[in-house]
Amino acid sequence: MPDPDSRPSPEALLRAAKREERGRLKIFLGAAPGVGKTFEMLREGAERLRAGTDVVVAVVETHGRAETQALVAPFEVVARRALPYRGHDLEEMDLDAVLARQPQLALVDEFAHTNVEGSRHPKRWQDVMELLDAGIDVYTTLNVQHVESLNDVVASFTKVRVRETVPDSVFDGAEIEVVDLPPDELIERLKDGKVYVPAEASRALGHFFSKPNLSALREMALRRAALSVDQALLEHLDASALPGTFAGGERVLVAISELPGSDALVRAAKRLADALRAPWQAVYIETPRAERFGEEERRRIATTLSLAASLGATIATVPAANVIEGLTTHVTGMRATQLVIGKSVRSWWFELRHGSVVNAMLRAGNGLAVHVIPADTGAGSSRSSGAAAALWGDPTVYGVIALMIGATIGFGKLAEPWIGLGGVDLIFLLPVLVASGRYGLRPALITGLAAGLGYNFFFLPPLHTFTIADPQSLLTMFVLIGIAAFTANLAGKLKARATLGARGAQENAAIAAFGQALARASDWETTSAIICDEVSRLLDLNVILLNRRGDELAIVASCPAARGELGPVNRAAADWAWDRAEASGVGTATLNASDWQFHPLKTALGVLAVIGIARSDGRDPVRADRAVLLQTLLGQAALAHERLKLEDEVREVSLLKERDRLRAALLSSIGHDLRTPLTSVATAIEAIAVDHPGAPTLPIARMEVARLRRFLDNLIDMVRIDSGTLELHPEPIDLTDAIGGAVHDLKDLFRGRHIDLKVPANLPFVIADPTLLHHILINLLANAAQHGGEGGTITIMGRRTPDAVELSVRDEGPGIPVGEEARIFETFAQGRGSDRHGGSGLGLAIVKGFADAMGVRASAANHERGGASFTLQFPNHLIESASIQT
């Protein structure tokens, strides 16, 4: 029956709400290339398309396979974006085009692909995350060897280190479909040339595609998918508050204690988790008894937790009133299916008071498998005498008890004549209650026994003997002892809960104060100093904070003040924490010869700083009961650094926007202020033409006025592009007519030049804004005339491809410098950029801006027979005719 007190997890509900705001990701996971991931993705995409979903192909690699190309044919394909790379144009997914298209579902092949330099994101999986943030569902493909956490494992048996990886976090909330193919069938496909060309296939069969490798990869893919399904199940259960383990997958929990032998429990849990291929966690239940632990017990707990972390476990410290309550709650919250726990030799008295943890878990475990490991009793015998002394407490306490009993006896003698013997026994309750509330169970029992004996010896006849003649007096003595036991037990529980509550409140207050102090800081120096000061104060540690200064890490803040530079080992540990985003140094599994323990401040922007902590006495920096507090402080510090980083970026963007605003205002002013005098000049030239029609300088004057008018028009158009005030009025356009109109407007510029027009009459109409397209053609033709050489031919060629209509303008000039093909469209970049040398620096930037606004792709390249070629690509969705003409 469900627990009426159970509530859905707020964190799970919040994560579910965030997923509803984003698109849904489905990953087609395979063991190796060739299993059919792309085929399956396209097949399911086609089903969605037939069901009425708006589906586009953002990028699909067909690798020249006819069957894959046939599957792509029914889809709308978003044209790719060409980026220059080492003298060649490489095509990448056009992220902005997909976002502008806003389909319901985008098909994105090769999830782990590395984008060409100059792309918005270095990795394709980051492009996919942006599509999901925009509310677009994504289907994508991935091979298991590209998963970051499995990279080392795959390299260990394939001997191939995969460089393109995706973080495991991409699987959070994603639907996983395993595309499976038995190794023998995949090898046959490889031999048939369906995966690689024959030469590459024979080489692959002898290396990566061996049957043992494929079998291992297949198992890893199935297990990784099972892990994602299990995580999704837990998310749903937490959000729904459903009880039970729902053991579709195994989850291992090991409970450690301060006793020797806990390291054996951790190793046993590791072996169990490896055998089950299950995630596992190590937990320490912190009870009020921990306050009485010595340094040895605390060190043992910290060492055991560190061992578990180094073996791959997640670790947790859970405060609770007692071990049974804390462990039961944690098992339920984690929905563990396997519990590894130690069984130590306890006295019957201890189990009577505290209960048996093993027996309690066996009774409470609904579907929980409990693995009981005997404790190493030999190792624990050495602490028996010291532990016993610790349990009985401080000897001075018993001196105080003796004084209280003596004072009570004296007060009872004084009060007996007035209150009588029947009231004296109540006075003896006072020291019992005081001892119970202040000193705990054992001192309270001793106080109750001493009070009973004192009352008997000094007040009950026969006096000054321990003989009890009256049965009622015997009952009184036992009542005193019983009240002592009951009161001490009740006070102990209340004190335990108060201690835990006070510690939690103290830590929460410290964290809140730390967060407020960081929120008030507005610069890097102050923030770094606050972090060091507060972490040092709260944890009583020496703290340094390091950040990049040039090519190396440097200390930017410390508390107390840093003495000298870090040694080679310490510097190596700090570099490891920065580069690997992992803790290193003393008390960790990496470079533990260091004097410091280094922790990276990890954020979504990467590692922004490294914190080093150490104790003056050389002991391990962090006690087990302070580990959670440290992690919380590190998280707060990381968030503060991320905020400062984002604020710096916002300030930079604001400066750029202000600069662009001033530039736009200047350009607009120049463009409009010069238009009036230019009109007057043009009018004066026409007046001269009436009086002197044969003047030899008249054509030159008209051509220069036209050039100045184009320049002013370009200035105003550039302002419109930068300010985002372009208004589109698309309509079907015949490219032949558009080219004819542009050539006619430039007839004076083309005087004496040959125009080679190769635009087929049956080229389909394109959907574009006629005014913007006219400006684009004017600028491309003027650019070709200016840089095509004296008397050079300008070739205008149009053609239909399966994906687009292409229109190219080619000149016979010196061409474009290698590597400048993309930068040539930048604004005001003469010589190496827009308009090449001698232009205004605006014409080609306007071409690019207008083309992007209409969804047309503009590119530049050098023609194989010399000269520069500028191409406009109108994708299929901008073509009025759907027929493909060749």
Angle, helices 471-520/524-539, rounded to nearest 10 degrees: 170
Q: Which residues are CB-contacts of 130 (< 8 A; sequence separation ≥ 6)?
A: 95, 99, 120, 121
Contact 282, 266 (CB under 8 A): yes
Mean pLDDT of 345-368: 66
**pTM for the full model?**
0.46
Placement of tokens 């699987």 in the chain:
171
Mean pLDDT of 828-855: 62
- Residues listed for the chain: 886
Assess whether pLDDT exceeds 70 at residue 440.
Answer: no
Q: Which residue has the higher pLDDT, 488 or 154?
A: 154
Contact 636, 624 (CB under 8 A): no
Q: Which residue has the higher pLDDT, 8 or 165?
A: 165
The letter for the amino acid at 835 is: D
Mean pLDDT of 254-282: 85
pLDDT value, residue 832: 38
Rounded-to-integer distance, Cα 151 and Cα 161, Å? 7
The letter for the amino acid at 712 is: L
Residue 293: HSE in the Cβ half-sphere, 13 Å Cα cutoff: 20
SS3 state at 341: strand
Closest CA to 506 of 637, 629, 613: 629
Q: Which two tokens stand for residue 675?
A: 């238009």
Q: Could you count the other beta carbons within 10 Å of the beta carbon of residue 773?
A: 25
Q: Mind listing the pLDDT tens digit for each residue in 798-838?
A: 998 888 899 999 988 888 887 777 777 776 444 433 444 34
- Tally of helices (H runs) and strands (E runs) in the chain: 28, 25
DSSP bridge partners of 756: 795
Q: Could you count the other beta carbons within 10 Å of the beta carbon of residue 66?
A: 8
DSSP bridge partners of 656: none
Assess whether pLDDT exceeds 50 at residue 201.
Answer: no
pLDDT value, residue 808: 92
Mean pLDDT of 430-453: 76
Q: Mind listing the pLDDT tens digit for each residue in 138-181?
A: 999 998 888 887 777 777 776 667 778 888 778 877 888 888 87
Lowest mean pLDDT among 266-280, 717-731, 803-817: 717-731
Rounded-to-integer distance, Cα 874 and Cα 886, Å? 16
